[in-house]
């Protein structure tokens, strides 16, 4: 069985997220999605609209996703890859090169992002619509 892992906050789920998950699943038989724990988001200075448990439930309902695990630190990726016997680490190309250190443990792939959509853009658009 070929295992794939990807990471993210996955707040305000949108087509870019779905495209990433669909394409990630195409690289293997089993897709693990590591999502930022609420504590980790706080350390990064980010505030998700949905709690960790809510984001986990949403992702678990997506047919491409086989398992959802928490991400507590930037440094846990090597441990996750080893613990879950990961074959492919996959991220959007906005992270290009940032996780090349994992190439000692698995294949690392950066996929092109979906053009024109992001959680930041959604939040900005909503703020403009409500304040404009």
Residue 44 annotated as catalytic = yes
Please name the residue ranges forming H helices in 2-118.
15-25, 38-44, 52-60, 77-83
Closest residue by Cα to residue 10 from 31, 33, 28, 30? 33
Residue 47 annotated as catalytic = no
Determine which one of 3, 25, 46, 77 is catalytic: 46
Token reading at 32: 């693990």
Rounded-to-integer distance, Cα 105 and Cα 117, Å:
31
Determine which one of 2, 3, 44, 77 is catalytic: 44
Please name the residue ranges forming H helices in the chain.
15-25, 38-44, 52-60, 77-83, 119-131
- Tell me the catalytic residues: 44, 46
């Amino acid at each position: 069985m070929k295992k794939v892992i990807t990471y993210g906050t996955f707040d305000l789920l949108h087509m870019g997220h779905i495209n990433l998950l669909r394409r990630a699943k195409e690289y293997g038989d089993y897709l693990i999605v590591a999502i930022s724990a609420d504590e980790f988001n706080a350390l990064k200075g980010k505030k998700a609209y949905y709690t960790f448990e809510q984001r986990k439930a949403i992702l678990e309902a997506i047919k491409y996703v086989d398992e959802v695990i928490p991400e507590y630190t930037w440094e846990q990726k090597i441990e996750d890859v080893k613990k879950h016997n990961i074959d492919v680490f996959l991220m959007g190309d906005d992270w290009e090169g940032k996780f090349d250190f994992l190439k000692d443990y698995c294949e690392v792939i950066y996929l092109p992002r979906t053009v024109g959509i992001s959680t930041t853009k959604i939040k900005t658009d909503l703020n403009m619509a409500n304040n404009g």
